[in-house]
Amino acid sequence: MGLYDVFVSEEVCPVCLKRSEMEFQTKVLLNCLYHWRRGDAVETGELIVKDGRIKDCLASCPKCKASLIGDVVIENHRFVRVENLRERR
C-alpha cells in the first residue's frame, strides 16, 4: 500500500454499530506515517493544516472488518472529528 498518514478516532461502525478505535488513512498530506488523534494539532516541520476537510479517508472496523470511508475534519489547526462515515462500496 505504501506510505500514508493516519488519523485515529473512536467511532461507531455504520455496519455493525459497535464503537471502536479506527485508523483513517490518507495519502493527501506528507505520506510519512504521521499519526494524529482527536485534539492533536495537525502539523509537522513541513506542513501546517489550519482548517478543512480531508475527504474519503480509508478505515476498517476492527470488530466486523467492514471497509469504511470517512471525512476527517480539521478546525483551528486540530483534528476534531470524522464525518460522513460510511461503508466503502
Give the confidence band of 60 by pLDDT, cuts at 50, 70, 90: very high
Segment 22-38 mean pLDDT: 88
Give the confidence band of 82 by pLDDT, cuts at 50, 70, 90: very high
Report the pLDDT value the prediction gives residue 53, as an integer from 0 to 100. 87
What percent of the chain is predicted at pLDDT more than 70? 90
Please state, in angstroms and as integers, the Cα–Cα distance from residue 3 to each residue in 31, 32, 46, 47, following that order.
5, 6, 17, 17
pTM passes above 0.95: no
Compare 73 and 28 and report the one with higher pLDDT. Answer: 73
